[in-house]
Amino acid sequence: MTANLSRAPGAARVDHLVVAEMVAPGSRVLDVGCGDGELLRLLELRGVDGRGIELSREGVNASVAKGLAVIQGDADTDLADYPNDAFDYVILSQTLQATRKPREVIEHMLRIGRHAVVSFPNFGHWKIRVKLLLEGQMPRTKNLPDTWYDTPNIHFCTIKDFRQTCSLVGAKMEKAVALNAWGQQLRLPAPWWFWNLFGEQAVFLLSRRPSSGSATRI
Amino acid sequence: MAEVRLKPDLRDRLSEAENPHSQIARFGPDQPLKLDAGVELAPFQIAYQTYGTLNSARSNAVLICHALTGDQHAANVHPVTGKPGWWETMVGPGKPIDTDRYFVISPNVVGACMGTTGPASINNRSGRPYGLEFPVVTIRDMVRAQAMLLDHLGIETLFAVAGGSMGAMQVLQWAVTYPERVFAALPIAGATRHSAQNIAFHEVGRQAVMADPEWRGGRYLAEGTNPRRGLAVARMAAHITYLSDAALHRKFGRRFQDRAMPTFSFDADFEVESYLRHQGSSFVERFDANSYLYLTRAMDYFDLAADFDGVLAEAFRGTKTRFCVVSFTSDWLFPTPESRAIVHALNASSARVSFAEIVTDKGHDAFLLDEPELFAIVRGFLGSAGAARGLAG
């Protein structure tokens, strides 16, 4: 759902690498909104047994032609058909903000998988705040180039919003990573408000066990 | 088969049924085919074509399952029509089902008329063609017979089973009945059960055949007649269901056939009429009317979930088979929701499944036609399955 995410030429996307780092090798993974299957392929190279769902027909057919186990489907409606505990990890990479019912999607992810990995653009990033504040228009950035009327992204959230939603659905935050505008991890042990201001992307590893504990930031 | 005296014309018509231009696996009275109808078929034979070479590990066999009016001649010139095989776009050297890599087996199904035992075959007990004395067969019977063929060939597991339409039904039945023998399954434009609408269409076709006075209660081969008109009408009606409104309009529109004006008669004024008449008349040259009854019946009876209390996911429980399900946007005979039902059941069983819907206006028959996206998907699916199976690239 976002374009121009940072990468070295010919290399995997940084946010994909961050997601892949959170997934244990040899596990079973469902990638919801898998696009053209790039992340799935990266995971399969690491010995993961991967499946994907993708809304766009082009993405599905490209993925299947790559030999990936991807089906055409909608995160909002089709996750209900999956049995409990079918996967070790359910991944939602750059898709959360395009779902109609993000909270239900997260709940389904934690039902289908023991863990959920969610990556999303942080709408609390300072550049977005500044654009809205100074220009008075819906912010458009390098990674979020769509205009308000043609964007597929209908449910933006900030890192702070996402943390609140996690506690609302009883998800435990196992790990969290924020990436800056250059796709580099924010490695400083900083408070959440700092991440919410300077993280352009966020990747969370969640687990089902209800807990009020705080995430390990890496 | 027993030597019997037949009229020359009949012998001619039976030549492919009895002595096909194919390899034949014969199963004697000691190896009956146990049918769902509760009877045994023996002796019987299976006519089949093969392409490519079986590797030393016997791990690269691909079974091709043909559709209702298809046959074993998937990738060679047809011995009756002289036309290319029905899946030459898909099967061959360097093609998506690559005969340089895979050993492809393409059998004629039980109940058909191109060399595998069916209603046009001679019943050894009577010395006459079976006709309606042939037992009703099911998709599962076809698959059981194919399993016996594999035993005969010494092939324990199939690398893949592939087919469209009725072929997709066989693919799914293979995956359910012999899950341990199928590494990868490729059902294209299929369904897990035949819909009421499709049964209805089949009934129209059967009634057309049976309404032809030359059908003679199914004994036309013995009596030297041929229900051409009935079978042609059945084919014409069915052929419409294989296409789409858009495809018919694109190909024919409302154009007249070799004339500028309507003739104010019931001649084939329109191109589409002429086309359908040709489809009907050429079909009867290569197909047996009773086989048409039996094979449509087999499809009608197909309901994969029926043996599992209607719960389709149970049919696939614990399956290790990899699936690639494909449907076409303009297919209204086996529409996408039918394929999606397969996918949902496979997901519920945590099976490894890919599913792609291909945009085309060519209708159900798209699986037989030049669809580059279909080829890319089949190639990708088999390629990755082959890597997982340890087949050389």
Give the CATH number for residue A149.
3.40.50.150
Task: Please report which confidence band the pLDDT of residue A182 belongs to, taking 50, 70 and 90 as the band edges.
Answer: confident
- Selected catalytic residue, list B288, B331, B339, B365: B331
For chain B, the three-class secondary structure string (H helix, E strand, C coil) is: CCCCCCCHHHHHHHHHHHCCCCEEEEECCCCCEECCCCCEECCEEEEEEEECCCCCCCCCEEEEECCCCCCCCCCCCCCCCCCCCCCCCCEECCCCEECCCCEEEEECCCCCCCCCCCCCCECCCCCCECHHHCCCCCHHHHHHHHHHHHHHHCCCCEEEEEEECHHHHHHHHHHHHCHHHEEEEEEECCCCECCHHHHHHHHHHHHHHHHCHHHHHHCHHHHCCCCHHHHHHHHHHHHHHHCCHHHHHHHCCCCECCCCCCCCCCCCCEHHHHHHHHHHHHHHHHCCHHHHHHHHHHHHHCEHHHHHCCCHHHHCCCCCCEEEEEEECCCCCCCHHHHHHHHHHHHHCCCEEEEEEECCCCCHHHHHCCCHHHHHHHHHHHHHHHHHHCCCC
State the residue range of the domain holding A74. 14-217
- Check B354 against A49: CB less than 8 A apart: no
**A71 found inside a domain:** yes
- Selected catalytic residue, list B73, B78, B194, B364: B364
B373 Cβ under 8 Å from any chain A Cβ: yes
Residues in B touching A70 (Cβ below 8 Å): 354-355
- Check A67 against B376: CB less than 8 A apart: no
Domains of chain B in sequence order: 8-197+303-389 (3.40.50.1820), 199-296 (1.10.1740.110)
**A200 found inside a domain:** yes
**A33 found inside a domain:** yes
Q: Domain total for chain A?
A: 1
Task: Return the higher-pLDDT residue of A61 and B95.
Answer: B95
Q: Any catalytic annotation for residue B165?
A: yes
Residues in B touching A82 (Cβ below 8 Å): 347-348
- Check B355 against A71: CB less than 8 A apart: yes
**A3 found inside a domain:** no
pLDDT for A185 equals: 84
Mutation pick from B324, B344, B354 vs chain A, by most beta carbons of A within 10 Å, is: B354
pLDDT for A7 equals: 55
pLDDT tens across B57-86, in order?
999 999 999 999 999 999 999 999 999 999
**A131 found inside a domain:** yes
pLDDT tens across B268-288, in order?
999 999 999 999 999 999 999
**A209 found inside a domain:** yes
pLDDT tens across B29-42, in order?
999 999 999 999 99
**A193 found inside a domain:** yes
Task: Please report which confidence band the pLDDT of residue A50 belongs to, taking 50, 70 and 90 as the band edges.
Answer: very high
Min Cα separation B266/chain A (Å): 45
**A5 found inside a domain:** no
Q: pTM here?
A: 0.91
